[in-house]
Structure 1
């Protein structure tokens, strides 16, 4: 009697009929084949847009109530969660504690694969327990196959703590649908190389996580129009971006924007409010707090027409 594998029926483990002879193709033909598969992946993500929108609202509500976002994953899925977490402070000025990530195998597994650690259910539970999840937090489990035991252990522990659970997977049939608050499952189909979920599954997952975090940050006032007004000045490039944002919004010259930012302690939002209202630094901060950190509401102005004019000039 043939031995059946519990993984063999997973969508991500199937053989792709479009790439059976990929090892005989020229580089240009391999690229074309991969592009064709990625087009299917985009459609799969698009079909999940309503669920992604629900996820954005869940995260937004948690952030407004001082909850945290915690990603949990292994392998490629875990690294994508780490990437989201790492990018939030410089991009949106968040505390490193606000968006966190747990990677199976710890920090060492980010750079060097440790495949066996994903099978440890108990370690998943222990790992998230160290962060002491609460009912205010959102825990986002990420597993292309939907079967990663490390992730399941973490989600089970988070559920006991009362945290809301979002599960991002590429298996729409995952049995975890009855266990979590929301499942987002782009059905990307078989990979170009069977089982290599760093390909379509990884790209689809990256897109979903980008949408969840970016849209939630927009919803809590981290942008003004599409300008990154909570950017942190960790490099000369980011300082330059801050100066350019000030020139765009206020009409100040570049050098004057620099002076204003220095008076505002390099707080772009405060600088905008100071220039637009004539308020000092502390009063500008107070206006922002009163406006729930939204620049648009703090100064009572839209920015779209200004941006459109600049685009015409460009």
Structure 2
């Protein structure tokens, strides 16, 4: 007979509780419903802010692992899994990352992105199989996403991550969840009961998206993918990116558009290389070496050129 402590019943979870503000929601006018949802959503930012220290710690871990050649892997079921896949899929076009750097997995596979796969979230062994398929290793970070904090698929994933030496991070919207027993670091924005009881695609889903935005954006900034608030880790691989790259080279170097286009062409379309080559008056290869010396960070690579009064 098993003597393991029982997991909390689902009806004991904060995210499953009845929200007193919406008990008469079906009697409200359309405008009243909109205002009620908006007022409830206004609580989300504070819940995420309360987890700032944990989110910052996670960003530092992820940045360190990615610098050493590791990956960030999101895994979840249902809404949580879809949000992880979404955030992962947006990194390559936003930050020019290779597709394998940030990976999103969802219980039930890609077909679960469009329709629910019954029972997929209840199989912890399938998570092990899915992670083995991408060869999760000790260089990687795994972020397990589960609003309830008790999804077997996600807990199985976090346990496997710990077993192989990957860094397991949990993201949940309920305190003191079973996930906390297997994650090395927990991020737990407590958003409270949903207006529609248990519909965690609402506040919990929004809080999850906000946290994931912070994790990848913060990491990419730390990795040197931006200069100020400009996306500078670009390779001009299509007409839209070429136009953006020319504009940014011109903005950052003072060259006119024609000169910027020529300099970019000489640097194989690499924006950061072009900026360093122009501002430091060096060859493309020397510019690449400078960027490598400064860990891909554009600001220190051009710092000795900048006038003292330029930020």
Q: TM-score range by the shorter chain?
A: over 0.9
Aligned residues: CA RMSD: 2.0
TM-score by length of 1: 0.91
**Aligned twin of 2:194:** 191
| Structure 2 unmatched ranges of 5 or more | 1-6
Say whether the 8 Å CA contact 1:56–1:215 is kept in structure 2: yes
CA distance in 2, matches of 1:302, 1:115: 58
What whole-Å deviation, never above 9, does each CA across 1:34-92 have from its counterpart, x for those lacking one? 11111111110111111111111111111122111110011111111111211111221
Distance in 2 of aligned mates of 1:296 and 1:24: 57
Superposed CA deviations along residues 135-178 of structure 1, whole A, max 9, x for unmatched, are 21100000011111111111111111011111011012212223
Displacement after TM superposition at 1:288 (Å): 0.9
Are residues 1:67 and 2:76 paired?
no
2:251 equivalent to 1:248: yes
Q: Does the 8 A contact of 2:233 with 2:271 survive in 1?
A: yes
Identify the match of residue 270 of structure 2 among 267, 271, 290.
267
> 1:1-314 counterparts in 2 under 5 A?
6-233=9-236, 235-300=238-303
Total equivalences in the alignment: 304
CA distance in 1 between counterparts of 2:104 and 2:166 reads 15
C-alpha deviations, 1:256-311, integer Å up to 9, x for none?
2222222222111011011111222222111111121111111115699768xxxx
Going from structure 1 to structure 2, the CA distance change for 1:152 and 1:198 (only over 3 Å counts) comes to same
Structure 2 CA distance for partners of 1:27 and 1:306, relative to 1, 3 Å: farther
Pick which of 240-249 and 213-222 moved more.
Answer: 240-249
Structure 1: tracts of 5 or more residues without a match: 308-314
Q: Is the Cα–Cα contact under 8 Å of residues 62 and 219 in structure 2 kept in the other structure?
A: yes
Question: Are the structure 2 counterparts of residues 17 and 232 from structure 1 closer, same or farther at C-alpha, using a change threshold of 3 Å?
Answer: farther
Local SS of the residue matching 1:203: helix
